[in-house]
A = this chain, B = another copy of it.
Amino acid sequence: MTKELLWQQVVAVKERSPLVHSITNYVVMNFNANALLAAGASPIMAHAAEEMDDMVNISGALVVNIGTLDSNWVNSMKIAIKAAEAKNKPWVLDPVGAGATAYRNQVIAELLAIHRPAVIRGNASEILAVANAENKTRGVDSTHSSNDAIEAAKQLSNQLKCVVCISGETDYITSNDMVTGLKNGHALMTRITGMGCTASALTGAFCAVQADAHLATCAAMAMMGVAGEVAVKKAGGPATLQTAFLDALYTMDVTTFMETVHIV
Chain A residues close to B by CB (< 8 Å)? 19, 25-31, 33-34, 37-38, 42-51, 54-55, 58-59, 67-72, 97, 100-104, 138-141, 191-194, 235-240, 242-251
Instruction: Let me know if A243 and B239 touch, CB within 8 A.
Output: yes
Q: How far is the CA of A244 from the CA of B242 in the complex (A)?
A: 12
Known: A54-B101, A191-B38, A243-B243. A46 touches B68 (CB 8 A): yes
Tell which of B29, B44, B236 touches A97, judged by Cβ atoms closer than 8 Å: B44
B70 touches A47 (CB 8 A): yes
Given A243-B243, A246-B239, A250-B237: A193 and B72 interface contact (C-beta under 8 Å): no
A-B complex: 9 closest residue pairs judged by Cβ atoms: A237-B247, A239-B246, A54-B101, A33-B193, A51-B101, A51-B103, A50-B103, A237-B250, A48-B70
Task: Say how many copies of this protein the assembly contains.
Answer: 3
Known A-B contacts A97-B44, A100-B55, A139-B19; A28 and B30 likewise in contact (beta carbons under 8 Å): yes
Contact B45 A27 (CB under 8 A): yes
Query: Residues of B contacting A246 with CB < 8 Å?
Result: 237-239
Q: Nearest chain B CB to A83's CB is how many angstroms away?
A: 12
Would you list 10 pairs from A and B whose C-beta atoms are within 8 A, ordered by A residue?
A26-B45, A28-B30, A37-B191, A42-B140, A45-B67, A46-B69, A48-B70, A59-B139, A237-B248, A237-B251
Cα distance, A200 to B235, chains bound together (Å): 27
Contacts A55-B101, A238-B247 known; 9 new A-B pairs at CB < 8 A: A19-B138, A30-B30, A33-B193, A38-B238, A42-B140, A50-B103, A238-B246, A238-B250, A239-B242
